[in-house]
Structure 1
């Protein structure tokens, strides 16, 4: 069938012939719980088609009927995000396992109507809005299908965030991992600590390109989201069945917070009063002090974060935390002695374990980068078997695994598969996002025209052949610990929305199909078929949505950044 659905559905069969045509007389019948999807359909399809999709009266009228329902048998067979879509000459029925399933079915209907259904106004008033008769049954492979968006290195205004939520929804992605704080900027208003944004949201200048570059943008850069902005973003996402997972970095990547409140830093090892918001890139030596003041400060920050984000997960970073200042700090060394910690790695584990338990006591779950597995704990179990013994469920907050983390803590595995494998074997849930496969800030081609070439070359084909469940877990009960996958979009060298578009698309489309569709093992995947669907239809959808993607032929002249130094990785061993 020529409609080229992406992500590919589980099953799709043609009907007995004919088609359904939406007309001004077509009505929309929204069953209980589907009212938000009905509003979304009227807004999106109404803008593109000019059709009102008036509420249905008693039964179908002369223009046919679009019916939305949640149904228990769909829930039982396909789960809450699954749906059935039936098109006959009389109308369309979308039956979801839950309200999310109905919404994903509505997204499929929009794809079936053609690329012009993605525009914000009518371009051809005489167009016939036809859908071929067919039956689709569909459900996602993974429950976590996400994008990590870094707004700390380069701030993305609120309207840009809302736009990316629409783009995630169009591809059936359901998690926005929102990287809100880092050395280069603090982007969320915390009412108790106004200087986090008053000082921490702004830097005087910005390095252009890799940190080895001699180029600078001498303009001040910054911005932040008010709490009302955050509420709007979270509500907008929820209407599209997307969970926003906030990330508040600790104890590393914290110079912006220390610049705002110097007492957060290791004041007996460095003059923190001289620190400003960092203007370059890399791993920063200025980390949080392991003091009671710091713990209480970040508890207060997180109290406001929890009030804004209903997500069951809160990401606390935990990555790239240099230990030199802790080694030089008598305060940090005294804390280690008091807590019976063997080294600074255990001190970091102690720090994050404190907040993992704090979150668990409030019904939330810590998720962090795979470094949070390091350090362990003297009171942790000695074996996986011991850590999983007893009558504790996977969301338990109190029991420790052998990592020293509460059992409910989860891991974002970014340094390859190893951290995710270790986490799953220790009883933790995992989101697979290895740098070598799904860091979309990395270059898409080895050519000299790629803008600010960073890191590994990862083509559209490479992303399409990524497998979130590593072979060491496949076929075992530990495979169920893989919640899903996400692409990570760091923004050191993506200074605006145009650059973010270029890095994300079309590779994020490939990741969406990997996360949703029941694809075969990588060696058997039909990349040629996927690419054909992209070229024949999906790029036109991206065009309609105004996405500045990388063309298959390479960057357009205005997408290049000649002379801005990147970070090509030369002489690296093959990535397995």
Structure 2
């Protein structure tokens, strides 16, 4: 009888199934050089709970060995298993870690449970695997501003990213509805800005509110823990401080930052608020101070500064804003926003960092090192790459995981257009075909975006994210050849693993009864309506 092909996800570049197996038992030992001691400890911690095996450290005769190999590239690994033992080799620490993740996938899905599994036989089939990622940026944006995600749930989300060899957590920390990061120089950002009186329920304009206060923030010690936890799993945390729109929470804390100077509450409604930052030097100084603390907390080379969905009505109507434009020699309100973004961009560049902004930042001149997130389709990716900027592809119609997953009437929140796991797998391509090979080198990769207006708990995030994130992970890791039938076979096994760790993912048959949210309405639309809405949005934030 032929040995079944292991269901590895993401799909490896090279996989050959051999004969025999490596049985894990009480005498199985593991080993690694000192520089991989933490990866070895992680592997022991991943295997011990379900297997009940001690997996003590051994020497050169250990059955499972980890090693670095100079001939392998970054994040690249090989995995060789057979009756005589298993060896994971990586080009760097991350590569070895990914090889360990692949090793876990050779075992029954129950290995992922955090409690003993009685009566199970644990054996690794004989395989030879060689693998490397297609893209360097394989990410997820997690919005913790609309609904706060407690630290332990962020750590859990990082573990789920690591299971899929994703390596970038874009952490959306500030919004109209909440400021989630402690800034010691400006304590009111969290004392006031981290809390709102209630939250809108649903996406329709006339949706009711829940009447419940909501809030929370991360202390700087929390952030250091999250960053270290992610780094141990090969994940870089890229923070985002939203400017100069989506700043209502900051204005509630410091009204003098606004155009009117009037006191504002932290927003309780979804959508785009008209309130924006004023363009005074004192406001620039305020946000460069904030970015200084951000850079001290986050070692990421890339730092997000937002730039999206910024109305310009207040600047247009305000005499002082118009005077400021004349002082700066600017003709359009769009130029005023571009001037502000470039000031923050220059500040980051001076400290050896790179700014990261949504594709609206292309309306102005950026530092050559700036990175652009293309979210309004892929037009931003094309424009940015042709200007010489690096690009992260995250087109809304393909990787916005808050979008509804079907047209079923019991989808929890029927927002926007349907986006199925098959849509993501077959249609998401980070490199626009119209780019030349030279221009295409600017595409760092891509990410899924998880907006949380309608995800007020980790279980709702689970439902929205999985299994669509599995498809995103494979698109970003594997080569650009797609085999939907083979992917579905491997996805079925991956969903068993997610079940084992308690992920409440969406079933192919639709939402389970407890995943439905009766009475919570959305704003469904067709693809044609979505395209018209995006065109309108683009017009609304430009001057012609």
TM-score (norm 2): 0.95
What residue is the counterpart of 1:295 in the other structure? 284
C-alpha distance in structure 2 between counterparts of 1:341 and 1:212, whole Å: 35
What residue is the counterpart of 1:321 in the other structure? 310
C-alpha distance in structure 2 between counterparts of 1:478 and 1:282, whole Å: 34
| Superposed counterparts of 1:504-523, under 5 Å | 504-520=465-481
What residue is the counterpart of 2:68 in the other structure? 70
What residue is the counterpart of 2:412 in the other structure? 451
Q: Secondary structure at the match of 2:170?
A: strand
C-alpha distance in structure 2 between counterparts of 1:52 and 1:513, whole Å: 33
- Note the C-alpha offset of 1:56: 1.2
Task: Determine whether 1:272 maps to 2:272.
Answer: no
Specify which of 108, 115, 119 is matched with residue 121 of structure 1: 115
**Could you tell which deviates more after superposition, 321-330 or 257-266?**
321-330
Q: Secondary structure at the match of 1:54?
A: coil
What residue is the counterpart of 2:535 in the other structure? none
Specify which of 7, 12, 18 is matched with residue 10 of structure 2: 7
Q: Secondary structure at the match of 2:94?
A: helix
Preserved CA contact (<8 Å) 1:259 1:272: no
| Superposed counterparts of 1:418-437, under 5 Å | 418-437=379-398
- Note the C-alpha offset of 1:3: 2.4
Superposition CA RMSD, Å? 1.3
Q: Secondary structure at the match of 2:86?
A: strand
| Superposed counterparts of 1:100-111, under 5 Å | 100-111=94-105
- Note the C-alpha offset of 1:517: 0.7
What residue is the counterpart of 1:339 in the other structure? 328
Specify which of 555, 562, 568 is matched with residue 511 of structure 2: 555
| Superposed counterparts of 1:108-507, under 5 Å | 108-124=102-118, 126-267=119-260, 272-273=262-263, 275-374=264-363, 376=364, 404-465=365-426, 466-473=428-435, 476-507=437-468
- Note the C-alpha offset of 1:570: 4.1
What residue is the counterpart of 1:37 in the other structure? 39
C-alpha distance in structure 2 between counterparts of 1:164 and 1:571, whole Å: 30
Preserved CA contact (<8 Å) 2:238 2:304: yes
Residues 211 and 264 of structure 1: CA distance in aligned 2, closer, same or farther (over 3 Å):
farther
C-alpha distance in structure 1 between counterparts of 2:502 and 2:5, whole Å: 23
C-alpha distance in structure 2 between counterparts of 1:421 and 1:498, whole Å: 36
C-alpha distance in structure 1 between counterparts of 2:256 and 2:79, whole Å: 58
Q: Secondary structure at the match of 1:73?
A: coil
- Note the C-alpha offset of 1:25: 1.3
C-alpha distance in structure 1 between counterparts of 2:480 and 2:332, whole Å: 45
What residue is the counterpart of 2:89 in the other structure? 95
- Note the C-alpha offset of 1:332: 1.7
Preserved CA contact (<8 Å) 1:356 1:366: yes
What residue is the counterpart of 1:534 in the other structure? 491
- Note the C-alpha offset of 1:327: 1.1
What residue is the counterpart of 1:379 in the other structure? none
Preserved CA contact (<8 Å) 2:417 2:530: no
Q: Secondary structure at the match of 2:71?
A: helix
C-alpha distance in structure 1 between counterparts of 2:319 and 2:530, whole Å: 43
Preserved CA contact (<8 Å) 2:8 2:105: yes
**Could you tell which deviates more after superposition, 111-120 or 240-249?**
111-120
Q: Show structure 2 runs of 5+ residues with no match.
A: 533-544
Please list the CA deviations of residues 177-197 of structure 1 after superposition, one character each: whole Å capped at 9, or x if unmatched. Answer: 000000000001111111101
Please list the CA deviations of residues 364-398 of structure 1 after superposition, one character each: whole Å capped at 9, or x if unmatched. Answer: 00010000001x3xxxxxxxxxxxxxxxxxxxxxx
Preserved CA contact (<8 Å) 2:416 2:530: no
Please list the CA deviations of residues 250-286 of structure 1 after superposition, one character each: whole Å capped at 9, or x if unmatched. Answer: 000000000000000012xxx522x100000111100
Q: Secondary structure at the match of 1:333?
A: helix
What residue is the counterpart of 1:49 in the other structure? 51
Preserved CA contact (<8 Å) 1:215 1:564: no
What residue is the counterpart of 2:542 in the other structure? none
- Note the C-alpha offset of 1:575: 6.7
Residues 571 and 445 of structure 1: CA distance in aligned 2, closer, same or farther (over 3 Å):
closer
Please list the CA deviations of residues 75-120 of structure 1 after superposition, one character each: whole Å capped at 9, or x if unmatched. Answer: xxxx210000001211110010101000000000011112011111
C-alpha distance in structure 1 between counterparts of 2:431 and 2:526, whole Å: 28
C-alpha distance in structure 1 between counterparts of 2:120 and 2:85, whole Å: 18
C-alpha distance in structure 2 between counterparts of 1:8 and 1:190, whole Å: 42
C-alpha distance in structure 1 between counterparts of 2:530 and 2:412, whole Å: 24
Preserved CA contact (<8 Å) 1:3 1:114: no
- Note the C-alpha offset of 1:574: 8.6
Specify which of 66, 75, 91 is matched with residue 81 of structure 1: 75
TM-score (norm 1): 0.90
Preserved CA contact (<8 Å) 1:212 1:565: no
Please list the CA deviations of residues 312-348 of structure 1 after superposition, one character each: whole Å capped at 9, or x if unmatched. Answer: 0001110000001111222222221122112010111
C-alpha distance in structure 2 between counterparts of 1:453 and 1:572, whole Å: 16
Preserved CA contact (<8 Å) 1:200 1:256: yes
Please list the CA deviations of residues 433-483 of structure 1 after superposition, one character each: whole Å capped at 9, or x if unmatched. Answer: 00011000000101111011111111110000111111112x521111000
What residue is the counterpart of 2:521 in the other structure? 565
Residues 36 and 571 of structure 1: CA distance in aligned 2, closer, same or farther (over 3 Å):
closer
Q: Secondary structure at the match of 2:80?
A: strand
Q: Secondary structure at the match of 2:42?
A: helix
Residues 487 and 571 of structure 1: CA distance in aligned 2, closer, same or farther (over 3 Å):
closer
